[in-house]
Amino acid sequence: MTNEELKNNTEETQAQQEQEQEPITEKKEKKEVKPTWKYYEYDGSTKTKKLIIDKRGKKYLIAKENKEFGNDLGVSRLDGVSEGNVLPTHKGDEFYLVEPTAFDIIKKMKRSVTTLLPKDIGLIIAYCGIENGETVVEAGTGSAGLTMYLSQAVGKEGKVITYEKRPEFAKIARRNLEIMGSVKLNQPIIGVEEEPVEVDNTLININEEAESRKVYNVIQKIGDITEGIEEQDVDVIVLDMPDPWNVVPHAKKALNKAKGRIAVYVPYIEQSKKAVEALKENNFLDVITIECILREMDISEKGVRPSTRMIGHTGYLTFARVCPEKLELDEE
């Protein structure tokens, strides 16, 4: 076959292949079909904040009225979405929207002083046997971290009266208690002369059923508890203050003689010693002092070991029970 015949044959083959190919059509852009997102409905929250947790475990405490939330993982809409939902972000990530616990609120709240840690608060509630319907007196309020847990423990039928010497601390505590739903937004602090509290109604923009479940069982007072306790027949007294021994005689008079208990928290052992001496001088029973050390454990596929970070000494806890009164027999 000559070169010219070979060239003609190749051209005919190429032409035949082009005819057999399907005609090229313009590519149509596919429209992205976004799934309809269904949300879980929850109306049980009594708090004025929501908690968002991202995939890294970072937590964000946000106001209920916020309509959207975003960070470096994207932005999600919140308008009309209740706790208990997974929120998709515009970047394809997810946020987890849940109801915050008292512990979550305490970690994020504004503080005036150092707050007791859950390890110590739990022991106070357990050793004192604080239960629903009881009356608890607390001093001092501080940032109201302990007050929140006491409010939960005594429930709707109970009452927590908390004393604080410094008005500026009491005002910070009130805002924290509002988040928890333990005080009304316009509830006054006894002993403070001030203008009426301005109420931001958006903070209570929740349904009436949830509003009816709020506890509202905390009464705040400004005053020096070492000068006396106004309340009588109290079930439990909790003292978190520098000089609790000065309150012990007043506590003896205020506590219910059948089941009255007292808890004292102090950071230094010398303070604890003075408190114990005062309790014994006032005939309190079952006096015990303890310290709680908390150690987390790191658990992974590679093994289990104690965490390199641990919560060591925070304070000493002393517990006691008031002594019943001795009745005098009537002489015949």
Residue 275 assigned ligand-binding role:
no
**SS3 call for 286:** strand
Residue 164 assigned ligand-binding role:
yes
For the chain, how many residues are written? 332
Phi, psi of 266 (to 5 degrees): -140, 150
- Angle CA(66)–CA(201)–CA(223) in degrees, nearest 5? 115
Spell out the residues 6+ positions from residue 302 whose beta carbon is closer than 8 angstroms to its own.
none
- Angle CA(144)–CA(148)–CA(152) in degrees, nearest 5? 165
Alpha-carbon distances, residue 34 vs 37, 51, 94, 145, 180 (angstroms): 9, 26, 15, 44, 37
Residue 330 assigned ligand-binding role:
no
Give the tokens for residue 30.
Answer: 């596919």
Are residues 176 and 185 in contact, defined by beta-carbon separation less than 8 angstroms? Answer: no
Measured CA to CA, the distance from residue 37 to residue 35 in angstroms comes to 6
Are residues 161 and 221 in contact, defined by beta-carbon separation less than 8 angstroms? Answer: yes
Residue in the block written with tokens 């959207």: 68
Residue 15 assigned ligand-binding role:
no
Are residues 136 and 158 in contact, defined by beta-carbon separation less than 8 angstroms? Answer: yes
Residue 224 assigned ligand-binding role:
yes
Residue in 271, 279, 272 with CA at minimum distance from that of residue 251:
279
ω into 140 cis (within 30 of 0):
yes
Measured CA to CA, the distance from residue 120 to residue 143 in angstroms comes to 16
Binding residues for S-adenosyl-L-methionine: 143-146, 164, 224, 240
Binding residues: 143-146, 164, 224, 240
